[in-house]
Structure 1
Amino acid sequence: MKSVSSWLARLREVALAHWVAAFCLAALAVGVHAVPTGSGAPKQPAEAHWVAAWAVAPLDFRELAAVPGMGQLPGLTGNAFKAQTLRQLLEPTLDGEHIRIRFSNRFGKVPMRIAAASVARSTGADAISPISLRILQFGGRSSLTIAPGADAWSDGVDLKIEAGQNVTVSAFFDGNTPAATVHMRSSDTSWVVHGNAVATPKLRDATAQGINHIVTGLDVLTSKPVRTVVAFGDSITAGSGETGEGAYPDLLATRLRDSPEAPQEVTVVNTGIGGNRLLLDGIGPSGLSRFARDALAQSGVTHVIVLMGTNDIGRSVLAGLPGLAVAPRDMPTAERITEGLAQLVKQARAKGVKVLIGTVPPFKNTPYFNEGNEAMRNAVNRWIRNLQDVDGVIDFDAALRDPADPQALNPQFDKGDHLHPNKAGHAAMSAAVDLKELQE
């Protein structure tokens, strides 16, 4: 088995590179039935209500395990938890004093039993503040079994948290629990150790996972009106955990907190998935199939920022590769992509959620680029810029492109692969958002 460091390096490489992952996983398809829940009303009631302070879009672990070279998850036997505690960090974007945690078995094939769980303020890495420790309950019980395909919330607990400060969630699995529902929004924030350590201040002999499991949401109970913004997209949205440099939604959350022009209470959650496509499954369920669950079902959602299409457009390069023929019905076109985006707008409108659409950034000098794909990207962006029935258009293309070569990323914003923005690029994306559009 490879060392943990080499395994993590390989894992991040796959998560970061849209086109590499797309090639590896083009044949994979994971369906999901979207179940729209939550109010989604732009005006929230004065009484106490739950608001998303942190959330992620989960993936099926089997997709990642199918990638050649992934091997065995560090610290686990047969890629399963066996009488072990999992500890993970979350970074909320909203202050609060009463919170709850969401656990997910969305991609599990068997019931998942959590024998014990806790939440606490982090003091760094896998250590927690003992005085802040709260043992979680589920309907008044200390344990929980989640059916395959389901999510479950803990009971609320009193714990003061602050935006931008890490919160730690620990879960103990007393039986054999296969890795199933995971996310890669953040790295180096997950550890596993033998035994029940949910109340242990500092783990001993813990193994870093490099991937995160089962915890997909943290809500805050508040009676204040809050603008809850969900950033929905692929790795250009997911950014932070995959690059370690800060994704534009994270920077937007900080900008909103610091700006006197912004609403007093705003939270931004990031449900981007690296390599994700709008129209078809592949790395994660398609944007069309997961939008209701990953965006519109977040607690108290009022606004959604959609940035998708890069991987759909790039998929057309697969058509000529040996063994990866693309059926005509699956070939992307500008019309199919814009029809898909229009469906997302329609879904959001039906829930009373405001929608902002982002233009597709440039990708010259990547395997995605050819004249046909560039024409497709331009056609999609023209459609987006001319939209009249959305609440806002964010011109990420204009913010990121090279003035000397508009088909390419500005070198100042290029992470190095000519596809993904670096920290300065994500800052430029955040700056491209008109805060007034999030006040309405």
Structure 2
Amino acid sequence: MTVREAEHTGTASAGGETRTAWAAGWSAAVQRPSAGFGENWSESGFTRQSVRQVVRVTGGGTSVRIRLSHRYGTGPLTVDGAALALSAGGAAVRPESRRALTFGGAPSVRIPAGGEVVSDPVELRVAVFDSLALTLYFDGPTGPVTFHSQAWADSYRAAGNRTEDASGADFDEVTHSWYLLSDVELSGEGAAEGAVVALGDSITDGFGSSVGANGRYPDALAERLAAAGRPWAVLNAGIGGNLLLHDSPWFGERPSARLERDVLDKPGVRAVIVHVGLNDIGFSEVDLPMYKPSVEVSAEELIAGYRELIRRARERGLKVIGGTILPFKGSEYHTPRAEAKRLAVNEWMRGSGEFDAVADFDAVLASAEDPEVLSPAYDSGDRKHPGDAGYRVMAEAVDLAAL
């Protein structure tokens, strides 16, 4: 069992011993078990089943380890087997790349409620934008498991221990969530020299992007950085439905409550892009159970929330980029009152100078005919979330020099 450390790329020496230092490769913001959007296995958990989940890393390396989070567990959870491999597409893996994972030298590990565990490192050459497949076996029963609801990627389940299976043929169940996995970290040649974290709600999370296509705006930003010769990882700390000012049983803890684990404690992080607030504005305009708590908030209260994030990130030496709130006229929670708050927040972001830089997502995605409307060319179809093309445009709006 380990405690999360503040780590950086390269190596460190203490008392004559060389200690491996780890770089970020991939991460997801964890959530408490819930029904979420679409079918998932978080509440039922697993019994004598294997789960295989595929993630694309934005850093490389020659050694890999993973972090598993049981933050929202109510009792201990045992992982009875684990393996990591390069993905061969779908649930299949490249058999020559398969590595059995251990934890403190043991093939299984017991994680206490509220805890996390880090695997022992395995030697595996991983290139930037490789997809890794993690297979976990639970003899179970696990009880409800910590997860990330809206992965926009396929995760697979099969009966029995399938950690040595390469074909993936037995993984006959699919959801679009991630389970327990919170981080992939890498070291060695090709490791990222720094990291930027995208902190936000469903727009950062990639709602409306194509499943399995890595079409979220942080994915496109990582591709821009790589093309520019900037070997930085881009970590996605978005949670669908997340609120700037309030916690939610469905939509996660507010950014200020999860800032340490989702941003500040990530290895090598140097900048954070903050894009959140639309749900605070919109949820108070509708009366739907899933949007509770429905709390009226003002633009001034939102600005105070941004200021707290700016202050705390700067105390740790990070640059903070603010993302303006996208148009959402025509969606279920747009009203004139909500629109006035959005405009006031965006005006403050652009004019106050309090962020180190501003990514003006609103300006580049607004319709030319009506600036309160998300451009049809970029709309996923619900009038507030971009599709793949819109997320690419968002990534282009981030000034790489500001990171």
Corresponding residue to 1:342 among 292, 304, 307:
307
CA pair 167-425 structure 1, distance change in 2 beyond 3 A: same
Q: Per the alignment, do residues 91 and 241 of structure 1 end up closer, same or farther by CA in structure 2, a change over 3 Å counting?
A: farther
Paired with 2:134 and 2:289, the residues of 1 have a C-alpha distance of 45
Identical-pair percentage: 36
Q: Which amino acid in 1 is paired with 2:95?
A: P
- Residue of structure 1 aligned with 2:156, choices 175, 191, 194: 191
Q: Which has the higher helix share?
A: 1
Which residue does 1:136 correspond to in 2?
101
1:238 corresponds to: 205
Equivalent residue of 1:103, what SS? strand
**CA distance in structure 2 between the partners assigned to 1:333 and 1:179 by the alignment:** 36
**Quick one: structure 1 residues 405 and 93, their matched pair in 2 at CA, closer, same or farther if it must change by over 3 Å?**
same
8 Å contact kept, 1:185–1:241 = no
Q: Does 1:253 align with 2:222?
A: yes
Question: Does the Cα contact within 8 Å between 2:62 and 2:123 map onto a contact in 1?
Answer: yes
Q: Shift in Å at residue 256 of structure 1?
A: 1.1
Quote the residue 1:55 is aligned against.
27
Once residues 62 and 291 of structure 2 are traced to their aligned partners in structure 1, the CA distance between those partners, rounded to angstroms, is 51
Q: Supply the distance in 2 between the matched residues of 1:273 and 1:130 (Cα, whole angstroms).
A: 33
* Paired position in structure 2 for 1:6: none
Question: Residue 199 of structure 1 aligns to which amino acid in structure 2?
Answer: E
Q: How far apart in 2 are the matches of 1:298 and 1:272?
A: 14
Provide the secondary structure at the position in 1 that maps to 2:306: helix
Paired with 1:288 and 1:156, the residues of 2 have a C-alpha distance of: 31
* SS of residue paired to 1:421: coil
Secondary structure in 2 matching 1:140: coil
Counterpart of 2:73 in 1: which secondary structure?
coil
Conservation of the 8 A alpha-carbon contact between 1:292 and 1:347: no
2:327 is the counterpart of 1:362: yes
CA deviations over 1:251-283 (Å, ceiling 9, x no partner): 111111112xx52x1111111111111111221
Q: Does the CA contact (< 8 Å) of 2:93 and 2:168 recur in 1?
A: no
Rounded to whole Å, the distance in 2 between the matches of 1:278 and 1:138 is 36
2:216 is the counterpart of 1:216 = no
Amino acid aligned to 2:111: I
What residue is the counterpart of 1:117 in the other structure? 82
Structure 2 counterparts to residues 17-416 of structure 1, below 5 A: 38-39=5-6, 47=12, 48-64=20-36, 73=41, 79-210=44-175, 211-222=177-188, 226-239=193-206, 243-244=210-211, 246-259=215-228, 262-263=229-230, 265-282=231-248, 283-318=251-286, 330-416=295-381
Number of residue pairs aligned between Structure 1 and Structure 2: 388
What CA distance in whole angstroms lies between the structure 1 residues aligned with 2:127 and 2:40?
A: 36
Higher relative contact order (CA 8 A, sep 6+): 1
Aligned CA-pair RMSD: 2.5
For structure 2, the 5+ residue unaligned runs are: 13-19
Farther-moved stretch of structure 1 (358-367 vs 45-54): 45-54
Measure, in 2, the Cα distance between the counterparts of 1:94 and 1:193. 29
Displacement of 1:157 after TM fit? 1.0
Change (3 A) 1:253 1:188: closer
C-alpha distance 116-55 of structure 1, shift in aligned 2 (>3 A):
same
Whether the 8 Å contact between 2:92 and 2:169 is mirrored in structure 1 is: no
1:23 match: none
Kept in 1, the 8 Å contact 2:52–2:134? The answer is yes
The ranges of structure 1 where at least 4 consecutive aligned residues each deviate by more than 6 angstroms after the TM superposition are 320-327
Deviations 1:227-264 (A, max 9, x none): 201111111111168543611110111111112xx52x
Report the residue type matching 1:235 in the other structure: S
Unpaired runs of 5+ residues, structure 1, are 1-35
Asked if 2 retains the 8 angstrom alpha-carbon contact of 1:37 and 1:296, the reply is: no
